[in-house]
């Protein structure tokens, strides 16, 4: 290893990065854009659900129940005048659920037998479950308030106090944004490094490099180190945007975030260099990097879809994806802080996978033109 020669090669690659607008675009503009798009567009919170309300009873009790539904912050209540109008709004997706208060509700409530009808749009099962749960909670809350007002209900024997760990506000961006950063870093690392060797072949400069005394290790390190620095800068940018712009709390130590990011970049850069070495054209290498990096990371990392809910073969497939371990690490550092057993397992997995990709890159890199 000639350190002077390595430094010269790294300077040459750094100048190439500065002179190439696409590298700056991929490293700094693309991460922020994807972070905002995925962080805000993908939202698992079901707030302000559109709910139709058909009140066929004009009694005071029915009016009180209707007012309770109107006051529920989870619902955006839309009063309707007829069942036909209600059915049409459900069929056209204008509402996600409907509550029907029958015309004999007040009379039956005096006999302690009042009921309401709840309809939900099953085309979106997740939202339908939210509608049913929120409507049932509103119904029980109103019953308790009515009983307390008339002095009919004894104090409950069991009082449930709910506490949400790790994400007290129960906001999905606090869970999704760290996973989004893992997806963004997969794209940045794999896409940037997938172009470097292929660019040398396309421009004919690889022949000039191979005619020099540059060793294989020096050649690979000169391609990895500048883009590693660029990847860490992109990670820092994502962290600043997530914490100060998107208001996602970060509870872990920065040195551990740097360490785990470095291990993940070893995987992303190794995979990108491997594809670049094999493909030898920038277009093919970029397409392969997006296909092998972005799509599996998005679908199988646990970023959106729970891994334990996937079929068993896919669960085993996720074990060879570095994004799975990095997304879990980021979600832990952002929401919980340090959980040693989980972080050690993720670090060991990233080291093993990184060694595989870097080893494949070394094996495929030869000082020959064939």
Compute the distance between CA of residue 208 and CA of residue 221 in angstroms, rounded to an integer.
18
10-residue averages of pLDDT along the chain (370 residues): 85 84 83 84 72 88 90 89 89 88 86 83 79 87 80 55 70 84 89 80 74 80 89 93 91 94 93 85 84 86 83 91 93 89 93 92 71
* Model pLDDT, residue 261: 95
Domains of the chain: which residue ranges?
3-42+171-364, 49-150
Compute the distance between CA of residue 353 and CA of residue 345 in angstroms, rounded to an integer.
12
* Model pLDDT, residue 153: 58
* Model pLDDT, residue 367: 59
Give the residue among 346, 37, 20 at the shortest CA–CA distance from 181: 37
Structure tokens at 1: 């290893």
* List of residues 6+ apart from 224 with CB closer than 8 A: 193, 269, 273
Give the residue among 331, 336, 325, 178 at the shortest CA–CA distance from 263: 325
CB atoms near residue 155 (< 10 Å): 6
Compute the distance between CA of residue 347 and CA of residue 259 in angstroms, rounded to an integer.
9
CB-CB contact of 313 with 228 (8 Å): no
Structure tokens at 204: 């004919």
* Model pLDDT, residue 355: 94
Give CATH for domain 49-150: 3.40.1710.10
Structure tokens at 109: 């409530």
């Amino acid at each position: 290893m000639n350190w002077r020669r390595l430094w010269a090669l790294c300077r040459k690659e750094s100048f190439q990065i500065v002179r190439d607008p696409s590298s700056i675009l991929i490293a700094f503009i693309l991460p922020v854009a994807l972070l905002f798009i995925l962080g805000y567009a993908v939202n698992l919170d079901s707030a302000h659900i559109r709910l139709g309300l058909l009140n066929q009873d004009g009694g005071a009790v029915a009016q009180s129940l209707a007012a309770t539904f109107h006051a529920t912050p989870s619902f955006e209540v839309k009063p309707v005048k007829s069942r036909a109008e209600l059915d049409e709004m459900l069929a056209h997706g204008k509402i996600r659920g409907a509550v029907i208060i029958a015309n004999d509700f007040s009379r039956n409530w005096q006999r302690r037998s009042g009921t309401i009808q709840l309809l939900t749009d099953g085309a979106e099962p997740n939202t339908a479950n939210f509608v049913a749960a929120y409507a049932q909670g509103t119904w029980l809350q109103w019953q308790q308030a009515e009983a307390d007002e008339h002095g009919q209900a004894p104090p409950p024997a069991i009082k449930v106090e709910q506490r949400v760990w790790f994400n007290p506000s129960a906001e999905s961006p606090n869970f999704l944004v760290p996973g989004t950063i893992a997806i963004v870093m997969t794209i940045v690392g794999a896409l940037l490094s997938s172009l470097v060797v292929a660019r040398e072949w396309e421009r004919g400069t690889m022949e000039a490099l191979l005619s020099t005394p540059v060793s294989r290790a020096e050649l690979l390190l000169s391609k990895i180190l500048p883009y590693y620095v660029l990847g860490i800068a992109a990670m820092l940018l994502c962290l600043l945007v997530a914490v100060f712009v998107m208001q996602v709390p970060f509870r872990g130590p920065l040195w551990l975030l740097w360490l785990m990011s470095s291990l993940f970049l070893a995987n992303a850069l190794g995979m990108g260099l491997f594809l670049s070495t094999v493909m030898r054209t920038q277009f093919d290498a970029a397409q392969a990097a997006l296909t092998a990096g972005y799509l599996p990371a998005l679908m199988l990392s646990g970023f959106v879809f729970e891994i334990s809910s996937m079929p068993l073969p896919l669960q085993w497939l996720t074990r060879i994806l570095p994004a799975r371990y990095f997304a879990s690490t980021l979600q832990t550092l952002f929401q919980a802080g340090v959980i040693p057993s989980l972080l050690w397992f993720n670090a060991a997995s990233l080291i093993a996978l990184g060694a595989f990709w870097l080893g494949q890159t070394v094996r495929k890199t030869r000082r020959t033109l064939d």
